[in-house]
């Protein structure tokens, strides 16, 4: 039995965290003795804590109190004192995390023997991974590196950090190609493995309205289109979504727009809605562990990101039988939708094209049904039982 240590940043609400749980629930427990290291202990925000399978020991690195102190000063960085305190606390956190990780690995080793594989699921250990003891080190990449990091110096440094691992996993073909083009020295190290999806769980939850409030039960019986993501205007580009939706309304669509999720830019998005006089048409539903019931009851799914990795929500929406309209951002949507064969793509920030596609698809019931048939076939490749075999091949190689 392999001694496998999986490390990630948090158990808060998010697409990466959902996929992490899916992996942990499906890896062969007769092949692997699994330990889970989580960097942030987020207290009540650890929404996926109870979904970690029994028998997997969890080790938190940073205490909630330290996280709250750092967050307090980060929110007030415009003040010079708070900026200095934030920088000092970040230095303290980096040092603390490294030492705590070493301690945890020694503890795991004393219980389970030599560590066979250290799997860094959100690349958070990249700055110190060479200081950790394990026979094999694997890192998972979930986003487009140049879009996420932007600065050339950061991109160069990131590549040097990736080279410290034995295997680099990209979650779609576009991302694998992008990594090998940016970092030619990684060729031979990069492997593509899709994210795993539990169809039965998602489809079961898509029928479950038990956690909806009375107001939400009224909302869900309206005609609506839906977007699901973190409320982040930089990556998720809600300005394009809202501007495109407004034009589609002016063109005659009657469906409302529901946005599922929460995040740092909620107030900014609320202001966008207000500025465009869309308070009656656009509803911020908030975060939920079950976005699938909202997907299932929608007319279609819309996505407007500037960049992604492999956008989990597109595949989840398709599992729920929904047609997707998405920005053709790097990386993932083009691959998932097969270049527009099984869904609709528009160029990043092109809100006029988004409006046109929304209007056309919502007016054409036959075209919507044609896409729905194609969607059902396309998503089969992401079934958990198929993808987990690729995970295990990667871990065992």
Q: Could you report the per-residue pLDDT of 117-170, keeping only the tens digit for each?
A: 999 999 999 999 999 999 999 999 998 898 788 899 999 999 999 999 999 999
In the sheet where 117-120 sits, what is the strand order? 57-62, 32-40, 2-8, 117-120, 136-141, 167-170, 190-192
pLDDT at 338 over 90: yes
- Domains annotated on the chain, with CATH: 2-196+384-396 (3.40.50.2000), 199-381 (3.40.50.2000)
pLDDT at 264 over 90: no
Q: What is the mean pLDDT of the chain?
A: 93
pLDDT at 53: 97
pTM score above 0.85: no
Report the candidate in 318, 284, 299 with the shortest Cα–Cα distance to residue 360. Answer: 299
pLDDT at 89: 79
pLDDT at 150: 81
Range in 155-164, 204-213, 302-311 with the lowest mean pLDDT: 302-311
pLDDT at 248 over 90: yes
Phi then psi for residue 40, to 5 deg, are: -100, 120
pLDDT (mean) for 383-388? 92
pLDDT at 346: 97
pLDDT (mean) for 205-233? 95
Residues 6+ apart with CB under 8 A from 95: none
* pLDDT tens digits for range 26-40: 999 999 999 999 999
Beta bridge partners of 284: 259
pLDDT at 309: 78
pLDDT at 94: 84
pLDDT at 272 over 90: yes
* Per-residue three-class SS string for 129-173: HHHCCCCEEEEEECECHHHHHCCHHHHHHHHHHHCCCCEEEECCH
CA separation for the pair 8, 123 (Å, rounded): 8
Phi-psi region at 6: left, alpha or beta (left = phi > 0; alpha = psi -120 to 50):
beta
CA separation for the pair 311, 299 (Å, rounded): 20
Residue 78: which pLDDT band, with cuts at 50, 70 and 90?
A: confident
Residue 339: which pLDDT band, with cuts at 50, 70 and 90?
A: very high
pLDDT at 54: 95
pLDDT at 4: 98
| Residue pair 228/287 in contact by the 8 Å Cβ criterion | no
What single-letter DSSP state applies at residue 121?
T
Q: To the nearest whole percent, how much of the chain has pLDDT over 70?
A: 100
pLDDT at 72 over 90: no
Residue 63: which pLDDT band, with cuts at 50, 70 and 90?
A: confident
pLDDT (mean) for 261-279? 94
Beta bridge partners of 190: 168
pLDDT at 302 over 90: yes
């Amino acid at each position: 039995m392999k001694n496998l240590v999986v490390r990630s940043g948090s158990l808060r609400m998010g697409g990466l965290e959902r996929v992490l749980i899916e992996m942990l629930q499906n890896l062969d427990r007769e092949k692997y003795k699994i330990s889970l290291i989580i960097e942030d202990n987020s207290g009540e925000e650890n929404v996926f804590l109870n979904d970690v399978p029994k028998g997997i020991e969890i080790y938190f690195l940073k205490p909630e109190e330290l996280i709250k102190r750092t967050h307090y000063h980060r929110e007030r960085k415009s003040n010079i004192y708070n900026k200095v305190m934030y920088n000092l606390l970040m230095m303290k956190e980096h040092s603390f995390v490294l030492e705590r990780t070493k301690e945890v690995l020694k503890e795991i080793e004393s219980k389970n023997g030599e560590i066979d594989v250290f799997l860094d699921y959100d690349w958070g250990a990249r700055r110190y991974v060479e200081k950790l003891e394990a026979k094999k080190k694997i890192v998972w990449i979930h986003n487009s590196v140049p879009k996420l990091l932007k600065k050339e110096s950061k991109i160069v440094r990131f590549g040097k950090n990736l080279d410290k691992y034995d295997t680099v996993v990209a979650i779609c073909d576009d991302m694998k190609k992008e990594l090998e083009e940016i970092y030619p020295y990684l060729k031979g190290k990069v492997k593509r493995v899709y994210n795993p999806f539990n169809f039965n769980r998602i489809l079961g939850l898509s029928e479950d309205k038990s956690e909806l409030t009375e107001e939400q039960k009224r909302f869900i019986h309206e005609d609506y289109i839906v977007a699901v993501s973190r409320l982040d205007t930089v990556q998720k580009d809600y300005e394009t979504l809202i501007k495109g939706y407004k034009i589609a309304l002016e063109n005659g669509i009657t469906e409302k727009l529901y946005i599922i999720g929460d995040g740092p830019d909620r107030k900014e998005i609320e202001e966008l809605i207000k500025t465009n006089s869309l308070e009656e048409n656009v509803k911020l539903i908030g975060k939920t562990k079950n976005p699938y019931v909202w997907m299932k009851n929608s007319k279609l799914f819309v996505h407007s990101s500037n960049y992604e990795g492999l956008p989990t929500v597109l595949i989840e929406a398709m599992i729920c039988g929904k047609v997707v309209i998405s920005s053709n951002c790097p990386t993932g949507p083009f691959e998932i939708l097969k270049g527009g064969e099984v869904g609709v793509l528009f160029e990043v920030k092109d809100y006029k094209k988004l409006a046109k596609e929304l209007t056309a698809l919502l007016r054409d019931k036959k075209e919507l049904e044609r896409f729905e048939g194609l969607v059902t076939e396309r998503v089969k490749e992401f079934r958990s039982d198929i993808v987990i075999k690729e995970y295990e091949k990667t871990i065992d190689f």
